[in-house]
Amino acid sequence: MAKITVQNTEITVISVGSEDYICITDMIKAKDGDFFVTDWLRNRNTLEYIGIWEQVYNPCFNYGEFAIIKNKAGLNSFKISVKEFVARTNAVGLQAKAGRYGGTFAHKDIAFEFAMWISPEFKIYIVKEFQRLKAAEANPMLGEWNVKRVLSKVNYTIHTDAVRDFVIPKMDVEREKLYAYADEADLLNLALWQCTAKQWREANPGHAKKGMNIRDAASINELVVLANLESFNAELLKRNVDKAKRYAYLHEMAGSQLSRLNSIEAEKVFRKLGTSAGNKGLKPASGTEE
């Protein structure tokens, strides 16, 4: 089981045999208004697509039952659940799973059509994130998507623990405590990118609308430096270094490290390694978007 995030919506991806199935119960949370999977399934165009897909991939599909169901599509009284549809037609493209990690799952081909029902924009981004996931799975040690995920978290606990242990205890006002973590994160943002998270969102409303933040748009080199800054700032907090001095140290460190990584083209070396390790022909997605 894996997770992808599309426009602030977390979506589960599972493997069934050798095929990928995507949770459309998760996906529907991105659609405006109160809608259910059954609203999509009762649509004639939906049923026609599923019927053709099953004809191509499922030799055990019950066409007789499917024809009965399809003939009722469009009637106000027509409604059918995924569970009933699968039971009556022997469909394999849809699966209803119970339990803690349950929900309605669709083969990726059908899930992408479901995404189009949500919105064309949503379909574009879920295909993009799914491709990143598969690239990372094909090359888990060197895939850029996977590395960005790891680097964004690698020193997060160390940094937040330092804020909790050495910054918050000195604060008397509860409101200040609530913003302590964000304040220290922005100190790192300023040291590396010369802007706060809020300033980045205001300057990049298109990316912000898609759920991206300043770190999502970072390059691999920048994320390497950010991980180092998090660790270094945690040590400075332990030593009770005041904020102004910490910023000066962090800003100098960010400039020198990023300059060095860029000069040796570390990111290009990483990409070459990723290609030579069995992923030839695959170009990892860029860490930034224009």
Walk along the chain (290 residues) in steps of 10 and give the mean pLDDT of each run: 89 92 94 84 93 96 94 86 94 88 92 94 94 77 57 64 72 60 88 93 87 83 89 90 93 92 68 45 35
Q: Can you read off the two tokens belonging to residue 168?
A: 């918050």
Decide: 115 and 122 in contact? Cβ < 8 Å.
yes
pLDDT at 279: 40
Question: CA-CA distance, 219 to 147, in Å (whole number)?
Answer: 11
pLDDT at 264: 77
In a domain, 288, yes or no: no
Which residue in the block uniquely carries the two structure tokens 């990023």?
A: 258
DSSP state for residue 119 in the 8-state scheme: -
In a domain, 286, yes or no: no
Domain boundary among the residues 81, 99, 132 is at 132
pLDDT at 146: 57
Same domain, 84 and 175: no
Same domain, 237 and 261: yes
Same domain, 11 and 124: yes
Q: What is the largest CA-CA distance in the chain?
A: 76
Same domain, 123 and 147: no
pLDDT at 98: 81
In a domain, 173, yes or no: yes
**Residue 6 lies in domain:** 2-132
Q: How many domains does the chain contain in total?
A: 2
Three-state SS string across 29-45, please? HHCCCCCCHHHHHCCHH
pLDDT at 284: 34
Q: Nearest Cα to 166, choosing from 188, 146, 181?
A: 181
Same domain, 54 and 145: no
- Mutual angle of helices 63-72 and 44-57, in 10-degree steps: 170
In a domain, 281, yes or no: no
Q: Can you read off the two tokens belonging to residue 38?
A: 């059954």
Same domain, 145 and 189: yes
In a domain, 8, yes or no: yes
- For the entire predicted model, the pTM comes to 0.54
pLDDT at 58: 96
